Chain A
Amino acid sequence: EIVLTQSPGTLSLSPGERATLSCRASQSVSGRALAWYQQKPGQAPRLLIFSASSRATGIPDRFSGSESGTDFTLTISRLEPEDFAVYYCQQYSSSPRAFGQGTKVEIK
Chain B
Amino acid sequence: QEQLVQSGAEVKKPGASVKVSCKASGYTFTDYYLHWVRQAPGQGLEYMGWINPSSGYTDYAQLFQGRVTMTRDTSISTAYLELSRLRSDDTAVYFCARDYFRVNTAMRTGLHSLFYFWGQGTMVTVSS
Contact = CB atoms under 8 A, between A and B. Distances in A.
Given A44-B95, A44-B120, A50-B100, A98 B114 contact: no
A96 B113 CA distance: 10
A52 B117 CA distance: 18
A56 B46 CA distance: 22
10 contacts: A35-B114, A35-B115, A39-B45, A44-B120, A45-B95, A45-B118, A96-B47, A96-B62, A99-B45, A99-B46
B111 to A, nearest CB: 7
Given A31-B111, A44-B95, 20 more contacts: A33-B111, A44-B97, A44-B118, A45-B45, A45-B115, A45-B118, A46-B117, A47-B114, A88-B44, A90-B115, A92-B111, A92-B112, A92-B114, A95-B59, A96-B61, A97-B47, A99-B44, A99-B46, A99-B47, A101-B44
B53 interface: no
A3 B76 CA distance: 37
Interface in A78-108: 88, 90, 92-93, 95-102
Contacts of B97: 44-45
A18 to B, nearest CB: 24
A76 B71 CA distance: 39
Contacts of A102: 44-45
Nearest to A91: B113
Of A47, A56, A100, A102, which is in contact with the most chain B CB atoms at under 10 Å from its CB? A47
Interface in B79-100: 95, 97, 100
B115 A37 contact: yes
A45 B47 CA distance: 13
Interface string B97-127: 1001000000000011111111111000000
Contacts of A95: 59
A88 B112 contact: no
A100 B46 CA distance: 10
Contacts of B116: 47, 56
Contacts of A35: 114-115
